[in-house]
Amino acid sequence: MSFRSNKFRLGIVGYGNLGRATVNLLLQKSEHWRTSDGIDLALTCVLDVNGGFYNADGLNCEALAAHGRASLDSFNGFDAKFNFKEMIDERLVDIIAEYTPTNKETGEPGLSHIRYALQNGIHVTTSNKGPILVAWPELSLLARNKGLMLGVGCTTGGALPSVIAGRDAMAGADTSIIEGVLNGTTNYILSRMESGLDYIEALKEAQAAGIAETDPGMDVDGWDSAVKLVILAKVVMNGNIDLKDVPVKGISGLSIKEMETELKAGRRIKLIGRAWREGGVVRASVAPESVDKTHPFYSVSAKDKCVRYVSDTLGDLFVSGGASGPIPAAASAMRDVLLAWRTGIIV
C-alpha cells in the first residue's frame, strides 16, 4: 500500500510585497491548513535578485516577518551565491511561488524560472503575468504532461477567483464572452470622480492611500486590464490572442463633466475589458464604457473587481469582490496550492 505524503517544501522566488505577505500568511494559516486540509507547508527557500537562503528544516517565518522590509542580505544565513538553478537542481523545494516582477514583452526572468521548475518536476504557483501572457500554451502543456500544478489564479485579479470561475466552474461549456472590471485602482479612481474629484485629485488620493502606484500608467492607461484579459482569454477560451492585438483606452481623459452627465442619466462609467469570439477568432478590447442600473457592473464600486462569463450550456456566470492587497494576493497564490492538493495534483 502506498501513502500520500502531506509534507511539502515551499520556495519563494522574488521577495517583494507579495513574498513578505506569503511569509505572514504562512504564520497565520499554516496550522489551519494542516487541520482543515491535511497539508503541511514548510518554507525552506527564499530567493531574490541578490541571493537568498535555505533551511531543510524550514525557515523561521517569525524572524523573517520581523525582518520586515529590510534587505534580505542582512538576514542571518543569507548567501549571495545561492541561486534559482541550485535550488531546483538540488531538489530543495517541491513547490515554488514565483513572484518576480512582470515583463509583459519577454516574460523574463519568470518565464525561465517557471519553465525550468516544471521541466524538473516542481509545482508552480505564480503572480507573474508575463510568463502566462507570452507562453501559456507551452507552460500549460508542460505542466499537464508532467502531472504538475501551474497555478495562475493570482495573475488575473488576486483574490477574485476569475480563473476558477472561468476554467473550473464553466468546465464543459463553450465560453463566448469574457468581460469584466479587472483593475481595482481605476475603479476606485472612477468612484472618487463620481464624488466630485477630478481625475488628478482622485489619482493623488489613490496614490496617498497606497491603492495606485507612484507610476500609475499600467493601471490608468488600461494595460493591466488588457494583460489580465488576454490571460483569461488564453486560459478560459483557449484564444490565440496577443496583447498587441488588443485596442486599449484608459481613463486619464475622462472629465468630471462626463461623470456627472452619466450619473444624472442613471449610468456609471467603468473601465471594461471584453473578449469575444468572432468567426472562430478571439478578439478583445479595453475601454471606458457607460453602464446603466440593470447591468451587473453598475454596483461594482471602489476597489472591487468583477468578471462575467457567457457560455452556451451553463449560461452566464458573474463573480465580484475579492479583497485587495498583498495578503489577499498571497492567499490567492496559496489557494491554487490548496486546490491542487485537494484534487490530487500535488501528491
Average pLDDT estimate for 240-254: 96
CATH number of 164-321, picked from 3.30.360.10, 3.40.50.10490, 3.40.50.300, 3.40.50.720: 3.30.360.10
On the question of pLDDT at 3 being above 70, the answer is no
**Which tens digits make up the pLDDT trace of 13-44?**
999 999 999 999 999 999 999 999 999 999 99
Q: What is the rounded distance in angstroms from the CA atom of residue 325 to the CA atom of residue 218?
A: 17
On the question of pLDDT at 4 being above 80, the answer is no
**Which tens digits make up the pLDDT trace of 113-145?**
999 999 999 999 999 999 999 999 999 999 999
**Which tens digits make up the pLDDT trace of 267-323?**
999 999 999 999 889 999 999 999 999 999 999 999 999 999 999 999 999 999 988
Give SS3 for 305: strand
pLDDT at 322: 84
**Which tens digits make up the pLDDT trace of 154-175?**
999 889 999 999 999 999 999 9
1 band by pLDDT with thresholds 50, 70 and 90: very low
Residues involved in catalysis: 228
pLDDT at 19: 97
Q: What is the rounded distance in angstroms from the CA atom of residue 285 to the CA atom of residue 282?
A: 11
Q: What is the rounded distance in angstroms from the CA atom of residue 284 to the CA atom of residue 282?
A: 7
**Which tens digits make up the pLDDT trace of 82-116?**
999 999 999 999 999 999 999 999 999 999 999 99
Q: Does domain 7-159+326-342 have CATH number 3.30.390.10?
A: no
On the question of pLDDT at 2 being above 70, the answer is no
pLDDT at 214: 87
Provide the residue ranges of all domains of the chain, joining segments of one domain with +.
7-159+326-342, 164-321
On the question of pLDDT at 325 being above 80, the answer is yes
Q: What is the rounded distance in angstroms from the CA atom of residue 136 to the CA atom of residue 120?
A: 18
- The length of the chain, given as a count of residues: 347
The kind and range of the H/E element at 109 are none
Written as nine digits, the cell of 98 is 514565483
On the question of pLDDT at 5 being above 80, the answer is no
Q: Are 221 and 250 in contact (CB under 8 A)?
A: yes
pTM here is 0.95
